[in-house]
Amino acid sequence: MKTSMLVLFFYCFTPAWAAAPVDTNIAGASLIGGAFNLINNTGKQVTERDYQDKYMLVFFGFTNCPSVCPLGLSRMAKALKKIDNFEDKITPLFITVDPERDTPERMTLYLEQYHSYFVGLTGSDAQLEQVSTAYRAYSFKSQDPNSDSYSFDHSSMIYFMDKEGRYITHFSNQITVDEMSSIIRKNIEEK
Amino acid sequence: MITHNVITVLIALLISISSAAQADDQLNQVDYPLISVPKGHYTLYIPDNNFFKLGYLEKKVSFDSIIHIGKFEVSNRLWNLCFKLNGCNRPVMMREGETLDSPVVRVNWHDAYGFSKWYSSYTNKSYRLPTEEEWVYAAYLGKDHRNIEIQYDYSDLNKIREISKKTMPLGSFKENALGFSDYQGNVWEWTLTCWYASEEKKLKEYSSAELNTPQACTTRIVQGENRSHIPDFIMDTYSGGCATLEPAANLGFRLVLEEN
């Protein structure tokens, strides 16, 4: 393991594991997703049932995230804007991994930069761990030993879920905005 | 009508016998060679890195019996046999220039786990993925593996590898002293070991039986040219934006044979 690589890694920090779009036939697909009980960015308690009349795009991140989250959310917003009246068909969800700093108010301000229709979700540590496990996502808090500063190592794919909350596919930073919107549109039109 | 049914049954029987014979032939072609690693002990250095520090946790590991680990990663040929016999859900996806003798890639942890179950059933033996402890022990021969790179003779292959993510035939990346091939080729390998955030869980000893189930966790350790943790449904990795160290060019796996 080369030290130089490690330094590069932790300078940039957030690993962005993801994959090219795949069909729902991947092994383990049925294990992705599930019930959750969280607080949205207006302060209301919500569950997965509140979003089951529409498709969902789900992203795990935090508002202090320096690069991967802005990139992912920006691409989500651009892809959605290419779909006519997406607000009637899809709910984009941002689930924080940093409930300490990401209050509902802070998430509202943050998400409005991308689109006012984005929904921020937070909750207790246990609630967030439960939803993270359900989506087979991960996060890890890194505390600066010399200050109060901290950051997160977290997975960064965008999950595309159907109206019943079942996994369809996921998107990485590798896929173009046009490809992402095309896959979303195709699935919505076919169902 | 009865005659027609008899003929149909006979044809089905012949097809079945033919398929079985063909599968037996294929099994001869897709033998999975193993190397026995002697029992012993060593220190596993687990990267304990975050945004603010670089370091390692030290985990004492001992093996009280011999470990039988695949000399190579599982090949496209072996995966295709699994597919043909309905053990795997799809055929291999090869890029131009790749062959059946290359390692199977674009597999997630569940694919690798499912294959190990199928191969166990097919051979009537007990195969599974290696734990990280086993993988590192066999790859680095129990030596200090911090900040080192296995000294393989890549020769011209290194240049090829630098410009291509395509897999090379099994054995292209040479052998280590125990005879294992391709431990640091351009395929990173799934292990049974779970990724945990807490230091306590990172250092805890888990049996292979505890880990050898999809319910054990959702993010697994991948070993190869470097080490990483990857959600278990991911089939490809990449470097995007402010991303990882050298990412895994491909995800594949090798197997361990349990003695009992």
Q: Mapped to the 3 state alphabet, what secondary structure does B29-67 carry?
A: HCCCCEEEECCEEEEEEEECCECCECCEEEEEEEECCCE
Cβ under 8 Å to B: A residues 154-173: 155, 157, 172-173
DSSP string, B121-155: HHHTSEEEPPPHHHHHHHHHTTS--TT-------T
Asked if A19 and B237 come within 8 Å (Cβ–Cβ), the reply is: yes
Question: Is the CB of A30 inside 8 Å of chain B's CB atoms?
Answer: no
Asked if A173 and B240 come within 8 Å (Cβ–Cβ), the reply is: yes
| Helix/strand/coil for A22 | coil
DSSP H/E element including B109: helix B109-123
Per-residue pLDDT, B150:
43
Give the single-character DSSP code of B74.
Answer: P
Question: In the predicted model, what is the mean pLDDT of chain A?
Answer: 86
Distance in angstroms (rounded) separating the CA atoms of residues B228 and B211: 17
CA distance B251 to chain A (A): 11
Give residues with Cβ within 8 angstroms of B249, minimum separation 6: B165, B186, B187, B188
How distant is the alpha carbon of residue A108 from its chain centre? Answer: 15
By CA distance, what is A6's nearest residue in B? B245
Structure confidence at residue B12 as a pLDDT band (50, 70, 90): low
pLDDT at B154 over 70: no
DSSP string, A79-130: HHHTSTTGGGTEEEEEEES-TTT--HHHHHHHHTTT-TT-EEEE--HHHHHH
At A165-191, the pLDDT tens digits run 999 999 987 789 999 999 999 999 876
Distance in angstroms (rounded) separating the CA atoms of residues B258 and A94: 43
Distance in angstroms (rounded) separating the CA atoms of residues B191 and B132: 6
- Asked whether the beta carbons of A127 and A95 are under 8 A apart, the reply is no
Asked if B54 and A68 come within 8 Å (Cβ–Cβ), the reply is: no
Determine which of A32-36, A150-154, A171-175, B24-28 has the lowest per-residue pLDDT on average.
B24-28
Question: Is the CB of A191 inside 8 Å of chain B's CB atoms?
Answer: no
Determine which of A5-19, A73-87, B19-33, B116-130 has the lowest per-residue pLDDT on average.
A5-19
Name which of A8, A142, A157 is nearest B52 (Cβ-Cβ): A142
Structure confidence at residue B228 as a pLDDT band (50, 70, 90): confident
* CA-wise closest residue to A57 among A28, A21, A25, A27: A21
Contacts of A9 in chain B (CB under 8 A): 49, 244-245
At A109-132, the pLDDT tens digits run 999 999 999 999 999 999 999 999
- Phi then psi for B57, rounded to 5 degrees? -95, 145
Contacts of B242 in chain A (CB under 8 A): 12-14, 16, 66-68
Name which of A7, A28, A67 is nearest B110 (Cβ-Cβ): A28
Q: How many CB atoms lie within 10 A of CB A104?
A: 16
Comparison of pLDDT for B55 and A36, the residue scoring more: A36
- A to B CB pairs, distance under 8 Å: 145
pLDDT at B166 over 60: yes
Structure confidence at residue A153 as a pLDDT band (50, 70, 90): confident
Cβ under 8 Å to A: B residues 99-118: 108-111, 113-114
Question: Is the CB of B132 inside 8 Å of chain A's CB atoms?
Answer: no
